[in-house]
Structure 1
Amino acid sequence: MEPLHPLTRRLREVHDELHGEAGGELRSSIPALQEVDPDRFGLALCTADGHLHEAGDVTDRFTIQSVVKPFVYALALTDSGFDAVHDSVGVEPTGEAFNALVLEDVTGRPPNPMVNAGAILTGCLVAGDDATTRKQRIRDGVSAFAGRSLDDDERVSESEKGAGERNRALAWLMKAEGSLPYDVEDALDVYVFACSLEVDARDLAVMGATLSAGGWNPVTGEQVVPPTVNRTVLSVMATCGMYDGAGRWFVDVGLPAKSGVAGGIVAVQPGQLGIGAWSPRLDEHGNSVRAARACALLSERLGMHELRPEGKGLRVVAAHERREGGRLHVVRLQGPLTLRNADEACRAVVAAAQELDDAAHRPGAVVVDLRSVGWLHEPAVQLLCTTVDDVQAAGHLVRLVDRDREESPEWEGSTPESTLESLEEAVAQCASALRPR
């Protein structure tokens, strides 16, 4: 029998540990949500390169409810633009319940897109001429995040409409304040439809992994939303996603997340993975007791808290070689080139140039080998390119080597002839230029 992947093993350990947890209550305000088996529990994890790990009832379908809010927000930002969306909906946490009758004092806007008022309005800001086309855009967009076509549960949406007096009050309050320039019933129809989309724990894990990967779905390979939109969505999730429990959540778990009253939670470790957890019993904030506890245990045991200390880490400079009688230096880099270690990389290039100057090798040459760099952080690349420009301006030759240069947008704007894909070619170019003619 093939051994379990260690991430699968960790998930199953957490699932087994929490399987007997019986705290919390089913959501009472939506009658259809009372009919689910409260003991069901699914837990899934999807890495940012698309590998799924799962435990428990991961194929059980449930309605997404408020977990849909960050994804509708992402679609609204993509379709209507940042200015239009942020003129209509704020980004500040409230400390209030998700359905509180609260708007901003001066603007009359909803305080953020993660509470019901904000979600009702952002649903109106996705592309579409009417409620029908907006609902289709939401279905298509959220399906793209999940990596499969999602259905809606009409029985739950009808139940939700019948128990939606508070949401209707929120919509009319925004209408009175002038912040909802749309038909109230159409806005509520779109909102309830979005909440009624059916998902399972695996879907939520893939949706989280898509946010983790900068809006790129690692299962389908589709860029669902732009990276700038994705960053904004994660920021608002981190501060507002868990409602009036958001502060304690981030202290304890440290991950952007969003919950829903059907018991689902999506949590995101940016650049790493997404978690999808589902269990129907809720706490007083409307968050799943078991799913929230599972996320907390995984964060603790896998070191996922976003504000954890990173430690010393891997040295980015792997080697510094001297060739051509010391007139050509090869600086080999490794691991991720991040802002954190860009300083070390830049200092290594400057040190090579200084050594050339001290030895009176003018001009000399420096080749920076990035073939073992697994990830390029664009600001770090810009710092490195600035150092390269300075060394070149001092009279030395510089060549950068990156095997994926043509597929790396981080190099956009760097000098084309200074970035090559072959170390041998870069060394040969420099050696030829340094030899007497």
Structure 2
Amino acid sequence: MRSPIMDYLDDILTQTAHVDSGAPADYIPELAAADPDRVAVALCTVNGTVYASGDSDHEFSIQSMSKPFAYALAVEDRGLDDILGRVGVEPSGEAFNELSLDPETGKPRNPMINAGAIATHALIHDEPAPAVDRLLALYSELSQRPIRIDESLAASELATGDRNLGLAYLLHASERLSKDPAAAVEGYIRQCSASVTVRDLALMASTLANGGVQPNTGRSLFGRQTTRHLLGVMTTCGMYDAAGDWLTSVGIPAKSGVAGGIIGVLPGQVGVAVFSPRLDEHGNSARGVVMMEKLSQDLGLHLMEPGRPARSALREIRKETVEGEPTTIYVLQGDMVLSSIEALVHELVQNPPSTDLVIFDMSRVDEVLPVARRTSAAMATKLIDAGHTLILVDPEEAIPGFRDAQGRGMRRWTSAYLARHLD
């Protein structure tokens, strides 16, 4: 049985197929040659489950999406106070490659623009291994597979990196660079030339959503203070001079890259990633921005959306006999939001009910957000199509007038009625 979350991600690609504005980055030959029609989307919950659609196994360069992870590593190496004394956290309101520093402090305005990212890379310790090798190891641990540098892309970027070199010399002249300018730029470019997929990026973003803990391995890769600070910087600075529009329309911490990728983080719930090479005037993926807007609207991802911390919606699974018929009862709990309903859907897909009669007991459910209604309706359709009879115990009518995705109703029982008919 296919998860309705996968069906939804397929729909995202279909609904944004009309977005063909923009063009791949043309100032780096390797990026200019990218297939503009490739597209992918992925999300990963804080329990480590990845859902992906489109060209989800296609590799492309991480580019500026490396900046949050490099910044977090520098903070872990040196401490937050030391990094704040060297790199600012104020939105610049300028293009990502602007040749400027803060006029009062001489610091780069934030670590998400190139000047700040070059300074940040130079602050990463070269022990116990060179900074680039440590970053590659970090990418690999975040994504749970070996991540390598695209050497031809790195060479292409180095050959056309005069603007970045100019930024490095500007930093050096202001005594804000702790390495030789050429070495700092080479390290930064190699940091950006690592090859990733949207699956990798969604898993990497989910570690940030999970408070710095890699959701599958359980290893704490970043401290909670580091992660909280980083997400704040991503929220205000991650989308360059489009940060204000992004915060109001999408409303999650995010970072884009000029290869066409965007990552987003909803703390406590999910990491998301999209890919489409055509860029808008801000250097962000044009179709990717639209995909993220739809994800935010449909799934209730906006940070300003009222809601409570999520836990699994599934409290327990019981096998009972109801009116003489073998029955599987799923007891649900708490608030049904994206991450909590995903845990239920994942269980139903991986371990479908073995009985014809299936009961969902919602007597302990407090609130059901629209995304949970849509996802549960799609899941109900799949169960009915598979031959199951569904009964909903919903005393508070958390899902009023429930119908599956085809408009077919489910029988409703009260908790007392269910108790009387348990054999």
What's the TM-score, normalizing by structure 1?
0.70
**What is the root-mean-square deviation of aligned Cα atoms in Å?**
2.1
Match among 108, 114, 117 for residue 116 of structure 1: 114
Alignment of 1:17-416 (within 5 A): 17-128=15-126, 133-310=130-307, 335=334
Structure 2 Cα separation of the partners of residues 19 and 111 of structure 1: 36
Q: Deviation of residue 129 (structure 1)? A: 5.3
User: Residue type matched to 1:99 in 2?
Assistant: N
Query: What secondary structure, in the 3-state scheme, does the structure 1 residue paired with 2:130 have?
Result: helix
Query: What secondary structure, in the 3-state scheme, does the structure 2 residue paired with 1:100 have?
Result: coil
Check the 8 A contact 1:79/1:126 in 2, yes or no. Answer: yes
Check the 8 A contact 2:68/2:112 in 1, yes or no. Answer: yes
Q: Deviation of residue 168 (structure 1)? A: 0.7
Q: Deviation of residue 19 (structure 1)? A: 2.5
Query: What secondary structure, in the 3-state scheme, does the structure 1 residue paired with 2:48 have?
Result: coil
- Which deviations, in whole Å up to 9, do the C-alpha atoms of 1:263-308 show, x marking residues without a partner? 0100011100010111100000000011111111010011110001
Check the 8 A contact 1:64/1:199 in 2, yes or no. Answer: yes
Structure 2 Cα separation of the partners of residues 228 and 142 of structure 1: 20
User: Residue type matched to 1:189 in 2?
Assistant: E
Check the 8 A contact 1:278/1:288 in 2, yes or no. Answer: yes
Check the 8 A contact 1:46/1:53 in 2, yes or no. Answer: yes
Stretch of structure 1 that moved more, 4-13 or 118-127: 4-13
Q: Deviation of residue 224 (structure 1)? A: 1.1
- Which deviations, in whole Å up to 9, do the C-alpha atoms of 1:241-264 show, x marking residues without a partner? 000000100100001000000001
Q: Deviation of residue 127 (structure 1)? A: 1.9
User: Residue type matched to 2:269 in 1?
Assistant: Q
- Which deviations, in whole Å up to 9, do the C-alpha atoms of 1:144-171 show, x marking residues without a partner? 2222220100111111011111111111
**Could you tell me which residue of structure 1 aligns to residue 4 of structure 2?**
6
Structure 2 Cα separation of the partners of residues 104 and 240 of structure 1: 15
Check the 8 A contact 1:48/1:218 in 2, yes or no. Answer: yes
Structure 2 Cα separation of the partners of residues 156 and 24 of structure 1: 21
User: Residue type matched to 1:193 in 2?
Assistant: R
Structure 2 Cα separation of the partners of residues 124 and 144 of structure 1: 22
Change over 3 Å in CA distance of 1:77–1:201 after alignment to 2: same
Aligned residues: 316
Instruction: Decide which structure has greater helix share.
Output: 1
Check the 8 A contact 1:8/1:53 in 2, yes or no. Answer: yes
Structure 1 Cα separation of the partners of residues 185 and 142 of structure 2: 23
Query: What secondary structure, in the 3-state scheme, does the structure 2 residue paired with 1:10 have?
Result: helix
Q: Deviation of residue 181 (structure 1)? A: 2.9
Percentage of pairs with the same residue: 44
Check the 8 A contact 1:147/1:217 in 2, yes or no. Answer: no
Check the 8 A contact 1:126/1:138 in 2, yes or no. Answer: no
Q: Deviation of residue 335 (structure 1)? A: 4.6
Structure 1 Cα separation of the partners of residues 148 and 168 of structure 2: 26
Find runs of 4+ consecutive structure 1 residues off by over 4 angstroms.
none
User: Residue type matched to 1:33 in 2?
Assistant: L
User: Residue type matched to 1:280 in 2?
Assistant: P
Query: What secondary structure, in the 3-state scheme, does the structure 2 residue paired with 1:46 have?
Result: strand
Structure 1 Cα separation of the partners of residues 216 and 281 of structure 2: 35
Q: Which runs of 5+ in 2 are unaligned?
A: 312-332, 336-363, 366-423
**Could you tell me which residue of structure 1 aligns to residue 316 of structure 2?**
none
Q: Deviation of residue 220 (structure 1)? A: 2.6
Structure 2 Cα separation of the partners of residues 136 and 81 of structure 1: 20
Check the 8 A contact 2:58/2:197 in 1, yes or no. Answer: yes
Q: Which runs of 5+ in 1 are unaligned?
A: 315-333, 337-371, 374-437
- Which deviations, in whole Å up to 9, do the C-alpha atoms of 1:319-344 show, x marking residues without a partner? xxxxxxxxxxxxxxx859xxxxxxxx
Check the 8 A contact 2:119/2:178 in 1, yes or no. Answer: no
Q: Deviation of residue 27 (structure 1)? A: 0.2
Structure 2 Cα separation of the partners of residues 143 and 233 of structure 1: 20
Check the 8 A contact 1:152/1:193 in 2, yes or no. Answer: yes
Query: What secondary structure, in the 3-state scheme, does the structure 2 residue paired with 1:171 have?
Result: helix
What's the TM-score, normalizing by structure 2?
0.72
Check the 8 A contact 1:19/1:41 in 2, yes or no. Answer: no
Q: Deviation of residue 142 (structure 1)? A: 2.1
Query: What secondary structure, in the 3-state scheme, does the structure 2 residue paired with 1:96 have?
Result: coil
Query: What secondary structure, in the 3-state scheme, does the structure 1 residue paired with 2:11 have?
Result: helix
Structure 2 Cα separation of the partners of residues 133 and 14 of structure 1: 40
**Could you tell me which residue of structure 2 aligns to residue 353 of structure 1?**
none
User: Residue type matched to 2:221 in 1?
Assistant: V
Query: What secondary structure, in the 3-state scheme, does the structure 2 residue paired with 1:88 have?
Result: coil
Query: What secondary structure, in the 3-state scheme, does the structure 2 residue paired with 1:291 have?
Result: helix
Structure 2 Cα separation of the partners of residues 211 and 147 of structure 1: 15
Check the 8 A contact 1:96/1:243 in 2, yes or no. Answer: yes
Structure 2 Cα separation of the partners of residues 230 and 142 of structure 1: 16
**Could you tell me which residue of structure 1 aligns to residue 419 of structure 2?**
none
User: Residue type matched to 1:149 in 2?
Assistant: P
Structure 2 Cα separation of the partners of residues 66 and 90 of structure 1: 17
User: Residue type matched to 1:273 in 2?
Assistant: V
Structure 2 Cα separation of the partners of residues 243 and 43 of structure 1: 22
